Amino acid sequence: MSAFIVLIVAALSRLVPVVSHPHGWNFTALGGGLLFFGSRMKGTRWQIAAKLGAGLALLAAMDFYLTVYAYGYAWHTSEYLVTWLWYVAACLLGMGLLEKAGVLRCAAATLASATSFFLLSNLAVWMGGMYPHTLSGLGTALAMGLPFYRNDLASTALTVGVLFGVPVLAARIEQAMQASHGNRIA
C-alpha cells in the first residue's frame, strides 16, 4: 500500500512545478516514485500486471489533466504512448535493480531512469516534427532538453535517496540505539 501512496504523491508532485513556474522544468518525484513503486511489486504475474495497470491509469489521468487543464492543449493519446511505455519500463527497472537496493544499484537506476526518459522524450519530440528531421535537428532537440534532464536527474536522485536511504538510515540509528541501550544495562 505504501508504494501506491508514494506513486500518488509522485504524480501529484508534477503539479508543483506547474503552479510554481510556468515551464515546470521537470523537477518532480516521478522518476524516483516509479522506481520505488516497481521495487515493491511482488506477487504473481497477474498481480504485478494489475499493479502496473493501476499505476499506469493514475499517471495517464495525470497526463490528461496536465495536458488539457494545466497547459490548455488538445489531448492526443498517441502522443503519450512512448511516455506510458517508459512509466512501465521505469517500474520494471525498479523491480530488477532495486528489490535489493544498495548505493550502486540506486545510482545506476537513477541514471538509467532519468537518461532513458531524456532520450526517449526528446527523440519523440524530434520525430513529432518540432525540429527538422536532420542530425542537427536531433542535436537541437537534445540540447533544448538538457535543462529538463538536469532537473529530472537531480529530482530522481533526491527522491531515490529519500525513499531508499531514509529507511536504511533509520534502521542503523535504531541498531545503534539498541546497542547503546544494551551497553548501559550490562
For position 38, what pLDDT does the model report? Answer: 96
Tally: H helices and E strands in the chain? 8, 0
DSSP string, 54-122: HHHHHHHHHHHHIIIIIS-PPP-GGGGHHHHHHHHHHHHHHHHHSTT--HHHHHHHHHHHHHHHHHHHH
For position 64, what pLDDT does the model report? Answer: 97
User: Closest Cα partner for 36 from 172, 169, 171, 157?
Assistant: 157
Q: What is the pLDDT of residues 112-141, one digit of tens each?
A: 999 999 999 999 999 988 999 999 999 999
**pTM value surpassing 0.75:** yes
Residue with cell 512509466: 87
For position 6, what pLDDT does the model report? Answer: 95
Mean pLDDT, the chain, rounded, equals 91
Distance CA 50, CA 52 (A): 5
For position 99, what pLDDT does the model report? Answer: 79
Distance CA 69, CA 44 (A): 37
For position 172, what pLDDT does the model report? Answer: 87
Distance CA 93, CA 99 (A): 10
pLDDT of 25 over the 70 cut: no
Written as one letter, the residue type at 145 is: G
Burial class of 97 by CB neighbour count within 10 A (0 to 12, 13 to 18, 19+)? buried
Residue with cell 526528446: 122
Q: What is the pLDDT of residues 57-76, one digit of tens each?
A: 999 999 999 999 988 999 99
Distance CA 17, CA 96 (A): 30
User: Closest Cα partner for 66 from 52, 87, 80?
Assistant: 80
- Let me know: does 113 contact 93? Beta carbons within 8 Å: yes
Q: What is the pLDDT of residues 143-186, one digit of tens each?
A: 999 999 999 999 999 999 999 999 888 888 988 888 887 666 55
